Amino acid sequence: MAQKFRIVIVGGGVAGLALATRLGKTVGKSGRAEITLVDKSFAHVWKPMLHCFAAGTAANENDRISFMSQASRHHFDFWPGEISGMDRKARTITLAPVIDPNGETILEERSLEYDAVILSIGSRANDFGTPGVAEHCMFIDNLVDANGFNDRFRMELLKAFAYHRELDIAIVGGGATGTQLAAELHKALGLAALYSFGEKPPALKITLLEAGPRILPAFPEKVSQAAMKQLEAIGVTVQTSAMVSGADENGFMLKDGSRVPATLRVWAAGVKAPDVTTKFGGMKLSRSGQLEVRPTLQVMDDDNVFAMGDCAFIAEKPVAPTAQAARQQAHHLARHLPAWMDGRPLPPFVFNNKGAVVALGDYNGWGTFPGGTVFGGGWLHGLSARLVHLMLYRQHQFELYGPVRGMISCLVDWLDVFVRPAVRLD
């Protein structure tokens, strides 16, 4: 019996899980290929929602998709692990040991063989080598990071309630992640106050630091100005042209010599690929560590290695590292990899820009169409942008769950508000 074609997908983010699910329904179900998804976590979340997990306003298990459950329903395998290297000559990837919080090794270092490997390992914030950031700041690049931040946030909030003191939080990075996190943390405090200990809610001081001249630089300037006005209206201090020169356990130092004190320090600035890309056998990388790929999404010097999503850089025609682009790349490969397995050439990926949307909690939201037209702003108009953001999330759920389970998921979310607190408290 001929060996099945072995496809290994590394990273279960927006692109990786969508690709595994779609290929599982075709070449996996038919028995043509053996598909394995690898991720260091056991559950998937929609990356544009990470700030909600960090703030605790998204704690419903329904907002996480179990990799094991998804694999069992869609004809692919799942293995927990984090890629630590690749031998392209032997066509194997190496997975680092899995270690529990107590330091016990659960799984030793392992190797997986492949005929095609698709790297979808995402990106992380870029600290640009700023002194003290790695040691004293928290990141929210993935679900593990977001949950880690939320644990700290809840404990510091408990102290602030008990000792009647202000809680200082500083966020570096005025892109979508930083601005949305600032608004969501303010929303979380308001919700937590509903379940307080009979005490007056503590003061929450949030400072958003942006090195550039305005926040949300990927959006038109009028959206940046409106978002800044909205953040300031809910009590967030926004500092633009604020270049951070260092961080310590008490806050941030700025290049102008001033300091921003903060009990909790979050770094959400810049984008770079995970450092592990340097251990993939000398593949060509961009300045930010992304894997350079051809328009077919194959790396420059290996037809059997693909990269998509935030970790990929299409040298011929770069695409912004967004969930929208990652999803389209996954759909492209899901459509054409089966024919490529039979020896047919891959067509180039073409990005179709459908615009962008940013939602600041329940306070406001804006969207842009590809031509630059802006919609949203103001409570009622902002509602339309927030609904678009929600619809994109539901679209993602329906794609992975299917129509029936997708509808059930929506119903469970609706019923959940009558049972669970609106913010994570434990």
Task: Specify which residues 358 forms β-bridges with.
Answer: 366
Q: Does some domain include residue 316?
A: yes
Q: Does some domain include residue 188?
A: yes
Does residue 410 share a domain with residue 297? Answer: no
Does residue 234 share a domain with residue 304? Answer: no
Q: Does some domain include residue 347?
A: no
pLDDT value of residue 397: 86
- Domain range for 118 is 5-123+273-342
Write down which residue in 309, 342, 375 finishes a domain: 342
Does residue 242 share a domain with residue 118? Answer: no
SS (H, E, C) the chain: CCCCEEEEEECCCHHHHHHHHHHHHHHHHHCCEEEEEEECCCEECCHHHHHHHHHCCCCCHHHCEEHHHHHHHCCCEEEECCEEEEECCCCEEEECCEECCCCCEEECCEEEECCEEEECCCCECCCCCCCCHHHHCECCCCHHHHHHHHHHHHHHHHHHHHHCCCEEEEEECCCHHHHHHHHHHHHHHHHHHCCCCCCCCCCEEEEEECCCCCCCCCCCHHHHHHHHHHHHHCCEEEECCCCEEEEECCEEEECCCCEEECCEEEECCCCECCHHHHHCCCCCECCCCCEEECCCCEECCEEEEEECHHHEEECCCCCCCCHHHHHHHHHHHHHHHHHHHCCCCCCCCCCCCCCEEEEECCCEEEEECCCCCEEECCHHHHHHHHHHHHHHHHHHHHHHHCHHHHHHHHHHHHHHCCCCCCCCCC
Q: Does some domain include residue 202?
A: yes
Write down which residue in 312, 342, 372 finishes a domain: 342
Domain count for the chain: 3
pLDDT value of residue 56: 87
Does residue 108 share a domain with residue 145? Answer: no
pLDDT value of residue 253: 96
Does residue 43 share a domain with residue 97? Answer: yes
Q: Does some domain include residue 206?
A: yes
Q: Which stretches in the chain have pLDDT values below 50? A: none
pLDDT value of residue 199: 64
Does residue 111 share a domain with residue 149? Answer: no
Q: Does some domain include residue 425?
A: no
Q: Does some domain include residue 424?
A: no
Does residue 216 share a domain with residue 148? Answer: yes
Does residue 145 share a domain with residue 255? Answer: yes
Q: Using DSSP, state whether 227 is helix, strand or coil.
A: helix
Does residue 255 share a domain with residue 156? Answer: yes
Does residue 277 share a domain with residue 403? Answer: no
Does residue 196 share a domain with residue 111? Answer: no
Q: Using DSSP, state whether 156 is helix, strand or coil.
A: helix
Report the CATH number at residue 236.
Answer: 3.50.50.60
Write down which residue in 304, 319, 342 finishes a domain: 342
Q: Does some domain include residue 426?
A: no
Does residue 261 share a domain with residue 216? Answer: yes
